């Protein structure tokens, strides 16, 4: 999961230093963050921002290493509950921004988009969604072909992510629109296609059965306090679509993290 607004904290402080002429360290290749990728995920927490001199700012992704409520996790050992808050998906048609984030195929909601996810009485606006291949969450020994993360960020900073596992099967026409309109260059937007898309088309039929736990962003800075809701029923996408997705980004999955004292709750049979 990648959330630009969180990373902007680092950008703003770096820009502030530059403007008053004390930015002596070499400019990082990425421009706004220490470079990370999936081949060095075990050391995300140790990546150093060489522009900074204060320890908390020198290691902006420290939570990836020292956090105790990290995502993804193995969902297999769910504690069954019949009293979970109901999920109510209220996504609407949007004319979104098709975005190549440099780490994933991503779709950003347009500025005035009104689509939401309700969890009980709490309402979360859909900010963006993006894809991982293979899946990040696993169920026992089972890894899925891919995983879709619907990221919801409220004005008060609370984050909820709806995860959808992907498996090979029938073609999904909404995914095809996304694949055909995602730029091939990293960190490139395609906001003006005028194409209408309802993110609801990327949900399986059953949205009642899910796993839930308290976790984190699965990409640096790995911030915690994220509410996770992973649907039990996978969404089917075709083999050709998986190949097209993987041609853009393959193996962009963080490995499962320790549950520590956490419990995965669920209403999955």
What residues make contact with Zn ion under the rule CB under 5 A? 1, 149
Q: Which is nearer to Zn ion, 72 or 115 (CB)?
A: 72
Calculate the CA 124 to chain-centre distance: 15
Q: Which is nearer to Zn ion, 1 or 87 (CB)?
A: 1
Q: How far apart are CA 108 and CA 98, in angstroms?
A: 7
Query: For this structure, is 103 an active site residue?
Result: yes
- Minimal distance in Å, beta carbon 84 to Zn ion? 22
Residues in a beta bridge with 21: none
- Minimal distance in Å, beta carbon 159 to Zn ion? 11
Q: Which is nearer to Zn ion, 13 or 33 (CB)?
A: 33
From the candidates 35, 61, 103, 184, give the one annotated as an active-site residue.
103
Helix axes 239-248, 173-181, angle to 10 degrees: 30
Q: How far apart are CA 68 and CA 204, in angstroms?
A: 31
Q: How far apart are CA 57 and CA 51, in angstroms?
A: 9
Pair type for strands 224-231 and 159-168: parallel
Q: How far apart are CA 204 and CA 231, in angstroms?
A: 8
- Minimal distance in Å, beta carbon 160 to Zn ion? 13
- Minimal distance in Å, beta carbon 10 to Zn ion? 19
Q: Which is nearer to Zn ion, 14 or 242 (CB)?
A: 242
Residues forming the active site: 103
């Amino acid at each position: 999961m990648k959330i630009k607004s969180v990373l902007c904290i680092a950008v703003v402080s770096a820009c502030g230093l530059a403007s008053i002429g004390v930015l002596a360290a070499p400019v990082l290749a990425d421009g706004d963050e220490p470079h990370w990728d999936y081949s060095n995920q075990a050391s995300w927490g140790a990546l150093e921002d060489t522009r900074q001199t204060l320890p908390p700012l020198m290691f902006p992704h420290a939570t990836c290493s020292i956090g105790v409520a990290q995502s993804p996790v193995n969902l297999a050992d769910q504690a069954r509950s019949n009293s979970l808050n109901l999920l109510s998906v209220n996504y609407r048609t949007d004319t979104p921004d098709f975005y190549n984030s440099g780490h994933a195929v991503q779709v950003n909601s347009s500025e005035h988009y009104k689509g939401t996810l309700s969890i009980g009485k709490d309402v979360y606006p859909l900010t963006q969604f993006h894809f991982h291949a293979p899946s990040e969450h696993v169920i026992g020994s089972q890894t899925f072909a891919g995983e879709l993360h619907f990221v919801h960020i409220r004005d008060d900073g609370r984050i909820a992510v709806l995860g959808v596992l992907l498996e090979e099967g029938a073609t999904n026409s909404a995914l095809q629109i996304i694949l055909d309109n995602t730029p091939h260059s990293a960190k490139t937007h395609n906001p003006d296609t005028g194409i209408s898309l309802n993110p609801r088309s990327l949900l399986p039929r059953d949205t009642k059965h899910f796993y839930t736990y308290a976790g984190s962003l699965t990409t640096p800075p790995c911030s915690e306090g994220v509410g996770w809701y992973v649907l039990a029923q996978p969404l089917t996408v075709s083999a050709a679509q998986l190949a097209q997705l993987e041609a853009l980004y393959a193996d962009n999955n963080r490995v499962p993290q320790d549950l520590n004292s956490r419990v995965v709750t669920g209403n999955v049979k």
